[in-house]
Amino acid sequence: MRRSPGRTGLNKMPLLLVVDDEVDITETYAMFLSLHGFEVMTADNALHALELIGQRMPDLILSDCMMPFMDGVEFSRRVKADPASCRVPFILMSGAPQLHDLAGPCHQAFLRKPVLFQGLLLEIARLLE
């Protein structure tokens, strides 16, 4: 399947994919990130997110860890195993107290929920450099 890039020109807004099974969270992130100059796609689970990636490659993925069908860790592994998406920066988030900092080869950052929006913007900027 041919995948079109997220950005098609130098003046285009970076395309972010926000994945979370809590609709209120995805809508909140989408609104906040849109107001800060990003184009945003949302998915309510990792399977839906993989479909979206097949249609249009994002510049960065922001994903919850605990979701139905496939958790965020497995989702990040699948994204990084695919040569078409392996270079897309991946931020994993969780509010689960038993999870520790999971940053590693499949995701470049781990943010504890509730995520502070200013910190999120800084992390996105760092990863998109």
Residue 5 has pLDDT above 70, yes or no: no
> DSSP label at 4?
B
Tens digit of each residue's pLDDT (9 = 90 or more) over 65-99: 999 999 998 999 999 999 999 999 999 998 876 65
Which token pair is 11? 């003046």
pLDDT in the model for residue 95: 82
Which token pair is 28? 């909140």
**Cα 5 from Cα 70, distance rounded (Å):** 24
**Pairwise pLDDT comparison (106 vs 4), residue with the higher score:** 106
Which of the listed CATH numbers 3.10.20.90, 3.40.1350.10, 1.10.238.10, 3.40.50.2300 matches domain 37-106? 3.40.50.2300
